[in-house]
Structure 1
């Protein structure tokens, strides 16, 4: 029996963003926000929130993306970066055709954002959601 695993969307999308947004000084991309992060550099975090599976190796994946950086007094650079991240992650067919991509389709109707997040930090923060149809890993 061959097991089919859900794709590692966090790893794929972090690498994809690093490869496609190369002109933002100091940009860091990962799956977790460092506990001591204070906004000194722009940061994008990618989280796979899971989704449905069809039992035949296809998976729907909902991805939550946080974009942090700069300050609340000057949110424009963070908002601009969040809009670029959204555009890169929803650009089809490019993302589905990328090398090693598990993505078969972008579900545009389930994507939304970016929108500002209010929290206690002085760092600007935007959030967006993208959803994909994917194939699993053998």
Structure 2
């Protein structure tokens, strides 16, 4: 019996961002903030927050939360610029559409679910911006 499961957007998007942002020195992209992270290198963290499954059971709405961290809290420009760039890439950079990338299950960007990037106020030595992106994504058939 075959089932349809949601795609692993964390895995896909972390690899896709790594391959599309190659000019930021020391950039790390992953699915969680490393223990003891101090902002000494730029970091993008992608988290799939899930979502609903369509009535036909083959398409999934996926909400993705993304944190962009690094540099210092008192000098946010570099972090803000990288966050804006990430947002542009994830929501439809005209030359690099995430839905047409090899291995992508993204069918469409859902504009109402795309927000940010917002500065995060916290007691940390580094700067952080947060954004959400929502996709309609094809499920993966498993036997």
Superposed CA deviations along residues 23-63 of structure 1, whole A, max 9, x for unmatched, are 00000000000011000100000000000002521100000
Correspondent of 1:96 among 82, 95, 99: 99
Question: 1:5 Cα deviation (Å)?
Answer: 1.0
TM-score of the aligned structures, taking structure 1 as reference length: 0.97
In structure 2, C-alpha distance between the alignment counterparts of 1:89 and 1:39, rounded to whole Å? 23
SS in 2 for 1:67: strand
Cα pair 1:71 1:124 within 8 Å, conserved = yes
Distance 2:90 2:3 in 1: 28
Q: Quick check: 55-64 or 98-107, which moved more?
A: 55-64
- The CA distance in 2 between the partners of 1:18 and 1:26, in whole Å, is 11
TM normalised by structure 2 equals: 0.93
Q: 1:92: how far off?
A: 6.0
State the match for 1:74 in structure 2. 75
Distance 1:84 1:43 in 2: 13
Aligned length: 138
Partner of 1:37: 37
Aligned match of 2:134 in 125, 131, 136? 131
Given that 1:43 and 1:68 are in contact with CA atoms closer than 8 Å, whether structure 2 keeps it comes out as yes
Task: Structure 1: give runs of 5+ residues left out of the alignment.
Answer: none
Q: Which runs of 5+ in 2 are unaligned?
A: none
Aligned to 2:62: 61
RMSD: 1.1
Aligned to 1:117: 120
Relative distance call for 1:92 and 1:79 in structure 2 (3 A) is closer
Consecutive aligned runs of 4 or more in structure 1 exceeding 6 Å deviation: none
